Structure 1
């Protein structure tokens, strides 16, 4: 979720200073939670600023750019491979183990489609596969 704008934060502080209502009333008026109002006021009292804190970061990517490029190659080599097969092939080549869900997110992020061959039965009971 994105942080509330500095403009909104300043309006809340100004309204509170002008005693335009209780914290609950301000929360309803500005369509924010009571907890947000309480934390904003505490932050303003202690540090004197209403600016949002910097983002704390997140998990680092498990795969580097080379490994992502390898996934593109793996999908190009075998477009019929299922996610589990791609995971095992990636592990064989790089030693990095990823889950099926992670592989699904990566292929989606890279816009890789894994279109399966469609097999239809012909009258002679032979299977004819189409891409």
Structure 2
């Protein structure tokens, strides 16, 4: 749904302020809903402005920033704590993904990291002393020779 332009908002409020028309009549005149007119009048009364307030729309966060700091302290004490344990210990009334999102915003990740460098691994197979076709001959199936491209005939 498109946002109503600021110009139209100003004309709606100015027309209503003249006092000659009711909110219903203003809505019909400008072809907007009655709720839109009511919203603009109430918003102006509360805030003094009639601009769109997109940044205030949507669902409000259940976890406030103070709770995030509590979570950060808990994770610092116990780095291997699970999200469910964080929820239980702090008595949070939110979902586990909400806890995850707060921790990510705080720069904390749940990725396990090794505490020491991994050991170097050796080569996975032995090197053979032979090179070229001789080395490949040991890897062919029995009955095949390196000079033929098909298996021997069965009689």
Give the TM-score band, short-chain normalised.
0.3 to 0.5
Higher relative contact order (CA 8 A, sep 6+): 1
Structure with higher Rg: it is 2
More strand by share: 1
Structure 2 length-normalised TM: 0.38
